[in-house]
Homo-oligomer: A and B are copies of this chain.
Amino acid sequence: MKKIAGGVTAAKGFSAAHTAAGIKYQDREDMALIYSSAPCQTAGTFTSNVVKAAPVKWDRKLVEESDYTQAVVVNAGIANACTGEEGMEYCRRTAECAGEELDIPTDAVLVASTGVIGMQLPMNRICDGIRSMAPRLSGELAAGNGAAKAIMTTDTHEKEAAVTFEVDGVEVTVGGMCKGSGMIHPNMCTMLSFVTTDLAIEKNLLQEALRAVVEDTYNMISVDGDTSTNDTCLLMANGLAGNRKIAEKGTSYDAFVEALMEVNRTLARMMAGDGEGATALFEVKVIGARSKEEAKILSKSVITSSLTKAAIFGHDANWGRILCALGYAGVDFDPEKVDLWFESKNGKIQIIENGVALDYSEEEATRILTSDAVTAICDMKQGNASATAWGCDLTYDYVKINADYRS
């Protein structure tokens, strides 16, 4: 497997475009279009929130029932959530409009929205946007990059990743982009993520691979504990790499899962590190747990603790809050066995051993915690299972962004 530059247009046959449609923002690009020259097998994972945005309902139906998909229309600014029947109708009209422009069936067009909940989309602008983008579709990496920028809301930078790997001597590419900065606590998959590949693979295996990878990537990040109404992860495979179609598990399937994991882990970490107002990515590795499930619960409890997140913002080695967050996670363990380290590019320091503080240097700990990516390693000494979760610090800017988001 090799990391390469690019995002959704990295794989063969995928092109993208973007435009400033004036959906809600007045001064920036806010729509993107992804298109595949060949029909795609499609997998998707969606929010577990009872309140599901209209595009989530639309896409889930297409992923389950359509023979293939070939395009995705995305807008930023308005989420099309809590919009009732009208919101569903807008999904249909968006897909219809793109289908006409691209000469593909309505049920081959996926749609995705992100932004304010409860507002209706300005449909004429959506359709104008599609008509503006369709003739400008391009397979260049720059086109993928433009799309990644156009789907941002409070994100501070675009998020792309791509890799290549080999299947039976044929080079296959997996590339993706995502956005997400607030209301990030995926329980299925995060805000919006679009991954494309030229692999040829059976649909059921595509879905199985995505589901497995999402569990260890998007479902292990949290910015604020709020599981969005719009969480969507779409994976489109158009088969243009030319490999013999993967129809069962084995070496080729494993190579694909590994590549998919790499792309999605990279995107998920980027999303956590670019959490609303964040100054640092906060990674928590739990090791020595009794099971992977327990390791996941423990690591997620620490990255979601407001007190711990505020301490990370303050570069404060406040290990008591980490032990406390492990303690209320709902997993049984012996607090008097736990070891804890902090690590960053600035070094590594052990803070507690067997549940009690070592005589460590606060100055050295603060130096290590003063970084844009900080890791806490918790050894539970109960077994051999481990898991990693990704979050970010809690800052003044998180409050600022969310106290006046709508105004």
Contact = CB atoms under 8 A, between A and B. Distances in A.
Interface residues of A, number: 65
Interface string A46-82: 0011111000000000000000000000000001011
5 contacts: A84-B355, A117-B323, A118-B352, A225-B304, A310-B403
A22 B187 CA distance: 47
A126 to B, nearest CB: 20
Contacts of A401: 310
B328 A50 contact: yes
Given A48-B328, A84-B355, A84-B356, A314 B396 contact: no
Contacts of A331: 50
A311 B403 contact: yes
Interface in A306-321: 306-307, 310-311, 313-314, 316, 318-321
A195 interface: no
Given A118-B357, A225-B305, A314-B405, 16 more contacts: A50-B328, A50-B329, A50-B331, A50-B333, A79-B320, A81-B320, A83-B356, A84-B336, A117-B323, A183-B307, A187-B328, A225-B225, A226-B307, A310-B398, A396-B399, A396-B400
Which of the listed residues A49, A313, A314, A399 has the most CB atoms from chain B within 10 Å of its own CB? A399
Interface in A377-404: 394-396, 398-404
A181 to B, nearest CB: 12
Interface string A169-199: 0000000000000110101000000000000
Contacts of A332: 50
A45 to B, nearest CB: 15
B182 A320 contact: no
A226 B396 CA distance: 19
B50 A326 contact: yes
A226 B324 contact: yes
A357 B82 contact: yes
A51 B334 CA distance: 8
